[in-house]
A and B are shown apart, each in its own frame.
Chain A
Amino acid sequence: AQSVTQLDSQVPVFEEAPVELRCNYSSSVSVYLFWYVQYPNQGLQLLLKYLSGSTLVKSINGFEAEFNKSQTSFHLRKPSVHISDTAEYFCAVRGSDTGRRALTFGSGTRLQVQP
């Protein structure tokens, strides 16, 4: 079964500093990878996704993630964070070689941006 590991449960960072949220997944023939963001007491919103092609994917609000097949990673980065980026971030995966048609989520990383 697919699994996703988000090693950091909380990441405190100062405003305008860079940040990296780590995500590793269990190996599969090929995978589809996602980052979702959740603001307090709300549902999840898709931030960005890797399906195929370029290994570097970007969101409209300055986040980017790089698919690294050899390291089975899909880390999320932002060069300069804003207070409004404070939220919980979830990495998710679906392996193409499984019959299970559902995403598997990591345990989440809470990003806390301080002024």
Chain B
Amino acid sequence: DGGITQSPKYLFRKEGQNVTLSCEQNLNHDAMYWYRQDPGQGLRLIYYSQIVNDFQKGDIAEGYSVSREKKESFPLTVTSAQKNPTAFYLCASRVPGARNTGELFFGEGSRLTVL
């Protein structure tokens, strides 16, 4: 079955360490997105990529980096510069034909806890 796989599902890291969250999709979707979820704040856009080798900053890109070397992969690195990285991270891809409407399909999320 097609879908988005995020790994790891749970991750613990010490302060000052970089960590990379994996997002892989076998849906052949062009556009991919990373959102951060905090209690009571909903989802906030970190980065998005419309096409391979291209990506744009979202609303809260500081302290994060991404790459899009392959269509199916959009990893997110949480760097030590991110002041409050503990959160639930959601990867999504845009449904085909939804270039204008923006409809998204989500992965199951990765929960990062900084100790």
Chain A residues with a Cβ under 8 A of chain B: 4, 6, 9, 32, 34, 36, 41-46, 49, 51, 90, 94, 96, 101-108
Known: A45-B106, A96-B100, A101-B48. A107 touches B41 (CB 8 A): yes
The proximity string for B residues 88-111 relative to A, scoring 1 for CB distances below 8 Å and 0 otherwise, is: 001010100001111111111101
Most buried by B among A4, A102, A104, A108: A102
Q: Which residues of B contact A32 (CB under 8 A)?
A: 100-103
Interface of B is mostly: strand
Known: A43-B107, A43-B109. A102 touches B101 (CB 8 A): no
Tell me whether B79 is interfacial, beta carbon within 8 Å: no
Q: Which residues of B contact A106 (CB under 8 A)?
A: 42
Q: Do A43 and B42 touch across chains, with their CB atoms under 8 A apart?
A: no
Tell me whether B40 is interfacial, beta carbon within 8 Å: yes
Q: Do A103 and B42 touch across chains, with their CB atoms under 8 A apart?
A: no
Q: Do B102 and A90 touch across chains, with their CB atoms under 8 A apart?
A: no
